[in-house]
A and B are shown apart, each in its own frame.
Chain A
């Protein structure tokens, strides 16, 4: 390994060739401030445009032994042997501050009302660099705010770091966003400034997750929810997705990876929901439906039926559903017809459960707490409505729930653990792992194995399906003559590769799991901001599998409440009733070019 020795702030450091000054300084514990730079280490997300110039440093001695004339951006400048760097000279401090003041001169001064206040990287920089006045007065951007079902865009707050553009294009391959125009009018936009709903946007919300400022935020339903809970004529039911319980604690100062299921349930009760249920319950239901569909397709396929669509692809992730409907509608018969757990839950709540508590559908409000912003869009899909009444009325993100708990003056950290209500609150370890990449596949395999073989699994943990690489594959031996070839991907650019492989007729897999966000739902667009700290995502990932281990039952088909609903209401998996309530069809939403 080639290494380089250099000197930063009068301290020697040895780094690998190709290391940037930013990384070399980090090795010494020197944290050079950055703004546009973003990296989610090990999770395939990088943005290194070197554009904002906040991270400038002084190169006192360069490769030629002389000082470099201009300050160098630390995030994109590679170390050279015997380099001498100052990260805190007066020239650096003044330049950084000037750069920041210039950025702030075209930034609305509305921190007190801003949705990002308190977790804004620009605000933190202003505090850190000691900005007390903005001496520059100039033109101000005046874009109108755009609201879509999931995402709010306020480009007046954009600092042109272009992180959103990078995740949208490189990580997701969605291509909804691009930098447009030049000079002062330059901004990140959709094609022809069209509304996000008309663009190729899939509402994954990763642009929101990486935005350093308040330019991209979630549609906030907290006020709507407060009003609904206060309405005595409505029965308000809440469901909570698996990934929320391993991240919510961060908003209350707990260490990343804290599992707060009991406190979360207690907080929801205190907020005044009539019933506090668990999306994990319907994740178990999803496994019954999707698993049965997989076995059905496989049986036909192995019997030589060429018309059957194999691989089966998962359909829980609403951003992924949007993606294939908008970009690969011709392959829309490959994903399972099973609705997502969120929608299955809503469908059951507004039929089976509404009857049980003798309440009319219109008098019920079903709310979900999701780590996701695409779930907000999913709630609004027409096919998930009955006479205009949606299965799930609306979805709030983990961040919105944290705000609601704070607004309501609930001392989250000191809450006594409370259990979910029955019957839609009982779940298994197989359901909680839906929150991480590979989890849906593992849960499906746990059930499919036992259903196909009639035997008990020798080993519950399919560690070969776990991991944080963007594309993973595994072969699971089920019985003689049946080795399941499986793939697990996250990131829609990886999903695109899978779809292209299917299109070429070269896919070697029986089933593929797709999640849009890095590491799965644990880093969904609605989760607490991690500001590029991949260790936070890894801690959530470990917590998901710990939560699985903590469960007494760890296979979906063994969930007694799921067994009961099939017995008394649904009949059997993929029955007529199941199809009516728990399955869906997909649409061709590709932009079409037609001749006039």
Chain B
């Protein structure tokens, strides 16, 4: 029956509170608040969701319900290079699944995970609006089009070389 204590750095708590305030602490703005918080932190840790729940006066379970519903929101920290493979219809029919598999093999992680050194994280998403280039993957903001599974190794190496 001990109290539950949430630990968070002061400046992080203040920043999240400021984001909530920007949206008038309106519970109806939860998704916008989550977007901005994820932009700021790179992901949505438990502590951040607790602060948001408190600021918007809604149950933490509701916040978590929304975070877990949308694949865009992540509760694990992204890698330095966040890789997203498009699994929208156009990309999918042109072999996106093979590309995704190749990334999983090359990085040794599954979709939604981040590698041990925090260098790469892997996600799938639905349509980036570049269907003409299908199949498409993004590394950070950079778009790679007309991908094949064989190219994956070189792309990953490109970023490893930068380190």
Contact = CB atoms under 8 A, between A and B. Distances in A.
A588 B62 CA distance: 23
A180 B71 CA distance: 12
Contact of A596 (B7, B61, B68): B7
Given A593-B51, A594-B7, A596-B9, A381 B1 contact: yes
A178, A179, A182, A381 — most chain B CB neighbours (10 Å): A178
A189 to B, nearest CB: 7
A68 B42 CA distance: 47
Interface residues of B, number: 29
Interface in B1-41: 1, 3-10, 13
Interface in B96-154: none
A590 interface: yes
Contact of B60 (A181, A191, A382, A594): A191
A191 B53 CA distance: 11
B9 A595 contact: yes
Contacts of A596: 7-9
Given A169-B59, A591-B4, A593-B51, A178 B9 contact: no
Given A191-B59, A593-B50, A593-B51, A382 B64 contact: no
B155 interface: no
A150 interface: no
Contacts, number: 85
A175 B62 contact: yes
B5 A382 contact: no
A184 interface: no
Contacts of A381: 1
Contacts of A179: 65, 69
Contacts of A594: 5-8
Nearest to B71: A182
Contact of B65 (A178, A197, A589): A178
A199 interface: yes
A319 interface: no
A189 B1 contact: no
Contacts of B46: 192
B69 A589 contact: no
A180 B69 contact: yes
Contact of B64 (A191, A591, A592): A191
A591 B61 contact: no
B63 interface: yes
Interface in A406-451: none
A593 B13 contact: yes
A216 interface: no
Interface string B41-58: 000001101110110001
Interface string A159-193: 00000000001000011111111100000011110
B8 A595 contact: yes
Contacts of A178: 59, 61-62, 64-65
Contacts of B50: 591, 593
B6 A192 contact: no
B3 A190 contact: no
Interface string A182-221: 1000000111100001111000000000000000000000
B65 A591 contact: no
Contacts of A595: 7-10, 13
B124 to A, nearest CB: 14
B69 A182 contact: yes
Nearest to B2: A589
Nearest to B69: A182
A592 B5 CA distance: 5
Given A175-B60, A179-B65, 6 more contacts: A169-B62, A176-B61, A179-B69, A182-B71, A591-B4, A593-B54
Interface of A: 169, 174-182, 189-192, 197-200, 381-382, 587-596
20 contacts: A169-B59, A175-B59, A179-B65, A180-B64, A189-B61, A189-B64, A191-B49, A191-B60, A191-B64, A199-B61, A200-B61, A587-B1, A591-B3, A592-B4, A592-B5, A593-B13, A593-B54, A596-B7, A596-B8, A596-B9
Ranked 10 nearest A-B pairs via Cβ: A175-B59, A178-B65, A178-B61, A191-B60, A595-B10, A191-B61, A180-B68, A591-B4, A191-B64, A596-B7
